[in-house]
Structure 1
Amino acid sequence: MSALEPRDADVAPIRETAGPTLADGSVLDRGHRALSIGIVSVVLLIAFEATAVGTAMPVAARELHGIPLYAFAFSAYFTTSLFGMVLAGQWSDRAGPLAALTTGMSAFAAGLLLSGTAGTMWLFILGRAVQGLGGGLVIVALYVVVSRAYSEHLRPAIMAAFAAAWVVPSVVGPLASGTITEHLGWRWVFLGIPALVAFPLALALPEIRRTASGPADPAAPVPPYDRRRIRLALALSVGAGLLQYATQDLRWLSLLPAAAGAALLVPAALGLLPRGTYRAVRGLPSVVLLRGISAGSFIAAESFVPLMLVTERGLSPTLAGLSLAVGGATWALGSYVQSRPWTEPYRERLVVVGMLLVAAAIATAPTVLIHSVPVWIVAVAWAFGCLGMGLVIASTSVLLLKLSAPEEAGANSAALQISDGLSNVILLAVGGAAFAALGGGALGHGVAG
């Protein structure tokens, strides 16, 4: 029996058919070309934001006197995106992904503008929170578009295209961000991106309206919003925020918000994720769990590596970005490998290999604090970790859609992204606590000097 086959009636079997899709061909044939370019352009924009902002963040935190709050700038994004994911899942299953995607991109741009004009670190963090809400809406809506508009054998290819859209931003983004930060100021990294939102929307929205709008089954009655899931999503977001706050304020009184956060977060997560996720039940639950473990641990570690390169190793923002830039290409390579038809029978093995590479990269990351270890060793390890992430992220996405009925694509995609984002929030909270306990504020003076 396969590790991903169901072992009880509570787990949906692998779906061999999808909802209404365009005729089979390729992701760039006449029927798919405009849609593929449009949604990949959306991913390209998000990729530029993620890679560019990460490099500028240490300088922004220093200038706003917010180095001790550094982890909040990342966790605020992930925390609010959790709520956005659940909302987008229900919204997309009921009415199609069009409205969720449009609203998400608008919020994403608004958050960038707010952070770029912030005068204090808390206002900067608020902008990141608005941006996260938009990002949560967008990512789930895109998965629903893939589920509805692409046949099962084309999904690995479009997932590989999503990963490929990160290559140029991963190389150019950190370098451009570092250069802009050094010569024009970090604010322009945030303020320049919203101007690019109109182009991908103009390409994607008409095609989504044509091929993936409305409910999955127009003949079926539209289900009402599941208010219980919305409440659980709100509890999850608030709980994650309280947990993050508690780990940044290392006093005995911090146990109160930590306990309140855990009391909200744990039951909410159990209610929002597929039953059996934390028991690694075969089928959809194990896919969701693997996604959370891999993405959460890797992204949480990656959030602090540029900061350590700048503050502990004395690299400029440009060099810190360059040291991690190769990872974008290896991530895309891993995603490309999983998209090849000959790899389909070995998809589970690809996930295992990817997880091993990710674990090795994370284990190597702390050596950035050891001055006798050359920086290039960390960079090479991170490149192999990104290769593993390319295998794991794309494969778990393909498996999720294969295990989902068309009318469940939104809710299940939301569960996958919740597992991803929740792991990020929890691990960033732990990392932020360790950073604050070890004297994060002192590091800020090192940057300034």
Structure 2
Amino acid sequence: MSADVDRRASVWDGRYLWVTVGAVALIFLAAMQSLAVTTVMPVVSDDLDGAALYAVAFSGTLATSVIGMVAVGAWSDRSGPVWPLTTSVLLFVAGLVVAGLAASMEVLVAGRLIQGLGTGGQTVALYVVVARVYPPELHGRVFAAFSAAWVVPSLIGPFLAGAVTEYLHWRWVFLGVAALTLLAFAMVAVRLWGLPLETEHPSVARIGPRLACAVLVAIGALGLSLAGELGGYAWTAVAASVVVLVLASRPLLPRRTLVAARGLPSVVLMRGLVAGALFGAEIYVPYLLIDAYGFSPTWAGLGLTAAAIAWAVAADVQGRFGNRIGNARISILGTAQLGTAALLAALTAGLQLSPAVLIAGWALAGSGMGLMYPRLTVLTLAYSTPQNQGFNSSALSISDSIGAAGSIAVMGLVFTTLAGTDAAFPAVFAIALVLAAVSLVPGLRLGHAHEKSH
């Protein structure tokens, strides 16, 4: 194919159309379900008398997703992404059905654990699909489309979930997404099953040790999530969980990731740091708007809308011009915006500035992440070969999950410790600022892997 044809290529061309539509729909539905569950879980917990398992219904899904990531990554490297994606989608749907039909909170949590296996595996399998189906020059645009698929759920997910719960039943939040997911997967499958996606030289790495480490990472992530329930032993539990996470994750990440070696290790490490900065702090933005400024939950949630839109716009810019901007500039611009957003949030909380400063400032966080997040995924695939696309994609997702889980746990404990003082909100945003600043260290060591983005 000539360079001129490559420049005109689009992810919406006929040869890619069904894969693009189906994959974006799968991402959209996963995002919608995640945001919807956050909205309706208080109602679910009350209906099933499950307050004691409320936290586990969220943390358990995150924990088991790590197992799904590792299993699907190894499986994809051995035999291609089609069967791993199929299995992941079926697990995701099965978990939704179990949760939607649950007669007790214990059964609902079991469904959420199954769902987590599918969620983690589905993400990794879709990354491998992108690597095997699309030419490198379109990777940036595919991941920009994935980022955009999170925006609409951010805008309508909570409202739609509330309406479904009010006028139908909370069970349809689970069952409705299950049915739509099967339809979206059919769009992908009708095209993928006709493509030769197997690699000529499959990976021969042993899967068993990786799965064992993944289980330990899941246990560590779950321990972090539940540490706040242990009272005086909370920080001890955090320290023990961090040790487990560090030791168990090392075989699941590229060598020398934890020391920010140049290239892929720094790509993976930066992903975890920026995920920790954003997702750890973001849950306190609506909290601050409600607690300090009297916003209603609906309007407080809409305070994140500007960030979601900015993320999509910046992701599109990265998809079109990322190669021209360059990895170092993207890292500097992205971390600067994320750090500035955290600083403005801390100042708003500490100095009682106008809430408009917080909302507008947090849009910078979305913009910074829109530049960095898809770019890091593009780089991961650019550094990969057909033998390790699954491993590297799972490593990126694992770093993402560990970074988010770790920062959420630590920020939660800091916030609880300082609760009732004027320092609580500024402290959690200060942690996000530190993480954003530290992420620039691997950000300047990303290197180049002949990635393409037009």
Task: Report what 1:14 is aligned to.
Answer: none
Task: Report what 1:6 is aligned to.
Answer: none
Match of 1:232 among 209, 213, 218: 213
Task: Report what 1:154 is aligned to.
Answer: 138
* Pair 304,75 (structure 1): closer, same or farther in 2 beyond 3 Å: farther
Task: Report what 2:227 is aligned to.
Answer: 246
Distance 2:260 2:86 in 1: 35
1:401 paired with 2:385, answer: no
1:104 paired with 2:88, answer: yes
Match of 1:295 among 255, 262, 275: 275
Task: Report what 1:356 is aligned to.
Answer: 336
Distance 2:96 2:362 in 1: 27
Judge conservation of contact 1:82–1:421 (CA < 8 Å) in 2: yes
1:311-390 matches, within 5 Å, as: 314-341=294-321, 343-365=323-345, 372-390=352-370
Judge conservation of contact 2:202–2:387 (CA < 8 Å) in 1: no
Task: Report what 1:50 is aligned to.
Answer: 34
Task: Report what 1:142 is aligned to.
Answer: 126
1:62-211 matches, within 5 Å, as: 72-116=56-100, 124-181=108-165, 186-211=170-195
Judge conservation of contact 1:368–1:378 (CA < 8 Å) in 2: yes
Judge conservation of contact 2:202–2:386 (CA < 8 Å) in 1: no
Task: Report what 1:11 is aligned to.
Answer: none
Q: After TM superposition, give the deviation of residue 384 of structure 1 in Å.
A: 1.8
Judge conservation of contact 1:55–1:321 (CA < 8 Å) in 2: no
Distance 2:70 2:277 in 1: 22
* Pair 299,67 (structure 1): closer, same or farther in 2 beyond 3 Å: farther
Distance 1:180 1:310 in 2: 24
Distance 1:24 1:100 in 2: 32
Distance 1:288 1:422 in 2: 11
Q: After TM superposition, give the deviation of residue 42 of structure 1 in Å.
A: 1.2
Structure 2 residues without counterparts, runs of 5 or longer = 1-5, 421-454
Residues paired across the two proteins, number = 415
Task: Report what 2:435 is aligned to.
Answer: none
1:143 maps to amino acid: Y
Judge conservation of contact 1:248–1:432 (CA < 8 Å) in 2: no
Task: Report what 2:428 is aligned to.
Answer: none
Judge conservation of contact 1:68–1:436 (CA < 8 Å) in 2: no
1:189 maps to amino acid: V
* SS, match of residue 335 in structure 2: helix
CA offsets per residue over residues 374-422 of structure 1, 9 Å max, x none?
Answer: 4433322222211111101011011111111122111011111111011
Distance 2:232 2:108 in 1: 25
* Pair 309,64 (structure 1): closer, same or farther in 2 beyond 3 Å: farther
Distance 2:351 2:165 in 1: 26
Distance 1:165 1:76 in 2: 24
Higher helix share: 2
Task: Report what 2:392 is aligned to.
Answer: 412
1:152 maps to amino acid: P
Judge conservation of contact 1:84–1:134 (CA < 8 Å) in 2: yes
* Pair 317,359 (structure 1): closer, same or farther in 2 beyond 3 Å: same
Moved more, 393-402 or 262-271: 262-271
CA offsets per residue over residues 126-184 of structure 1, 9 Å max, x none?
Answer: 44333222110000000000111111111111111112222322222233234445655
Distance 2:256 2:264 in 1: 9
Structure 1 residues without counterparts, runs of 5 or longer = 1-21, 441-449
| % identical aligned pairs | 39
Distance 1:213 1:291 in 2: 27
* SS, match of residue 359 in structure 2: helix
Judge conservation of contact 1:174–1:322 (CA < 8 Å) in 2: no
Distance 2:356 2:57 in 1: 27
Distance 1:67 1:308 in 2: 24
Judge conservation of contact 2:271–2:400 (CA < 8 Å) in 1: yes
Q: After TM superposition, give the deviation of residue 285 of structure 1 in Å.
A: 0.5
Q: After TM superposition, give the deviation of residue 224 of structure 1 in Å.
A: 5.5
1:205 maps to amino acid: A
Q: Which has the higher contact order (CA 8 A, sep 6+)?
A: 1
Distance 1:213 1:195 in 2: 27
Judge conservation of contact 2:55–2:226 (CA < 8 Å) in 1: no
TM-score, with structure 2 as normaliser: 0.81
* Pair 206,45 (structure 1): closer, same or farther in 2 beyond 3 Å: same
Distance 2:260 2:353 in 1: 37
Distance 2:161 2:68 in 1: 27
TM-score, with structure 1 as normaliser: 0.82
Judge conservation of contact 2:12–2:20 (CA < 8 Å) in 1: yes
